[in-house]
Amino acid sequence: MIKERNFTEITEFILLGFSDFPQITALLFVMFLILYITTLTWNLSLVVLIRMDSYLHTPMYFFLSNLSFIDICYISSTVPKMLSNLFQEKQTISFVGCIVQYFMFATMGLSESCLMTAMAYDRYAAICNPLLYSSVMSPTLCAQMVMGSYTAGIMGSLSQVCALLQLHFCGPNVIRHFFCDMPQLLNLSCTDTFFAQVVLLILTMLFCISNALVIIISYGYIVLSILKITSAKGRSKAFNTCASHLTAVSLFYTSSAFVYLSSSSGGSSSFDRFVSVFYTVLIPMLNPLVYSLRNKEIKDAGKRLQKKLGCC
């Protein structure tokens, strides 16, 4: 468990998770398992539907299929380990496993933030420049924006991992959370965390604040364009094309900001752990629902797919 160097270094952490609620362990396991399976099913179904239906081969649905893929990886970085730990007497994770888990979690979270910004630009181009939309949002540009989102997410999480690897952990080793997160790891370090905190602050500025500003500015122009539309039907149609994305963005940013900014403990209280479930588990499940419920194109594509399967 430990090895001797010039200091005693921890090689594994204890994930407290929800072990302080032993009376509802079985209930939590069933609930999270159902949420996880539902999330995988809905997001995979959306990816397959968009891939198989040629009417959905547009920039908006190309971004949406990648968002579903990110959500699958995002929830899979935390929930399987949490489920396996619920019935274990010793809920441990190795140091390497902890770093890998955080790398996956941070990569998907940062990539999703960038992808939502790309989707906001797509909606801006569709509503503010409808005549030039096809030429502006070319397949090449869409692919570059998606690859840029993944690359930015990987580079951002790699910089955090490099900062974490410069730290030493010599006790205690209890993480009061159900997954390895940056604030908890910084609290457990027995060396100076200034550099890691600076890296985290810079990344917060680059990804969260800058992306949020781009989205706000894009929707500012979108609102102005919608107000110029004379017919009520046209305004309603334009608004409906943005409502789903705006809802998803609001849920993603408000929930994560609440956890990371509301408490100085870095989200380690029981309440904050349950709130963390919202942006780590519920949002990946809700995203395909938000984009599908009032989307006539996806409903029509689902009916076409049912007819194809029925014929087969």
Region of poorest pLDDT, from 144-153, 183-192, 199-208, 251-260: 251-260
The CATH code that applies to domain 2-311 is 1.20.1070.10
Please report the pLDDT score of residue 191 as a whole number: 87
Please report the pLDDT score of residue 265 as a whole number: 47
Please report the pLDDT score of residue 3 as a whole number: 43
Of 98, 126, 77, the closest CA to residue 242 belongs to: 126
**Cα distance between residue 109 and residue 111, in whole Å:** 5
| DSSP calls for 18-29 | TTT-GGGHHHHH
Please report the pLDDT score of residue 154 as a whole number: 97
Amino acid at residue number 86: L
**Cα distance between residue 132 and residue 125, in whole Å:** 8
126-182 confidence digits (pLDDT tens): 999 888 999 999 999 999 999 999 999 999 999 999 999 999 888 788 998 899 988
**Cα distance between residue 57 and residue 169, in whole Å:** 49
55-104 confidence digits (pLDDT tens): 999 999 999 999 999 999 999 999 999 999 888 878 899 999 999 999 99
111 or 18: whose pLDDT is higher?
111
Query: Are the C-beta atoms of residues 70 and 115 closer than 8 Å to each other?
Result: yes
Please report the pLDDT score of residue 162 as a whole number: 95
215-270 confidence digits (pLDDT tens): 999 999 998 988 888 777 778 777 877 888 888 998 888 877 776 665 444 445 67
Give residue limits of the domains in the chain.
2-311
Please report the pLDDT score of residue 1 as a whole number: 42
